[in-house]
Structure 1
Amino acid sequence: MEISGIISAIVIGIVIGVLGRLIVPGRQRVGLLLTIGVGIVAALIGSAIATYFGVADTKGVDWVEWLIQLVLAALGVSALDRSKRRRR
């Protein structure tokens, strides 16, 4: 992955994190910075998974890659929310 790919994954990760939070139903006890962090990690991991399966560089919009990233972000936000609930 080139540096431009990493930078775009970070920018997209911010959006992916917020969208992932919107996908998870109910109220989450996860802060905005953690949500953005989860989105960035989900975007990087999702890009790597999409590259591995050969669906990252297609003509037009990479819908499959975005879907993978969104699912990972939603799972990450949900997991963080559950871990915060257990601590309380």
Structure 2
Amino acid sequence: RFFMPGNNRMGCLLTIVLGIVGALVAGWFGQYMGWYAPGEPAGFLGAVVGAVAVLALMRLFTPRR
């Protein structure tokens, strides 16, 4: 919610789960592509970007209430 403020009606638990999933997928993908190794600071930045991307996709594809 810090990086994507606004009126998100997801709830705290769903936001946390989607953030974790996005971070894991982005971390795996970055290591698979050879962009960084485990434990490098770039992995943390990739995880943050992945979490924000998953939350943005969720906001984009959920219907408005």
TM-score (norm 1): 0.57
**Cα distance per residue 1:15-52 (max 9 Å; x no partner):** xxxxxx31013222221111111122112212212222
Partner of 1:26: 6
Alpha-carbon distance in 2 for matches of 1:33, 1:51: 27
CA RMSD in angstroms comes to 2.0
Question: What is the percentage of aligned positions where both structures have the same residue?
Answer: 33
Partner of 1:78: 56
Structure 1 runs not aligned, ≥5 long: 1-20
CA shift, 1:87, in A, is 4.7
Match of 2:24 among 44, 62, 67: 44
**Secondary structure of the residue that 1:72 maps to in structure 2?**
helix
Structure 2 runs not aligned, ≥5 long: none
**How many pairs align?**
64
Structure number with higher helix proportion: 1
Distance 1:54 1:83, change over 3 A: closer
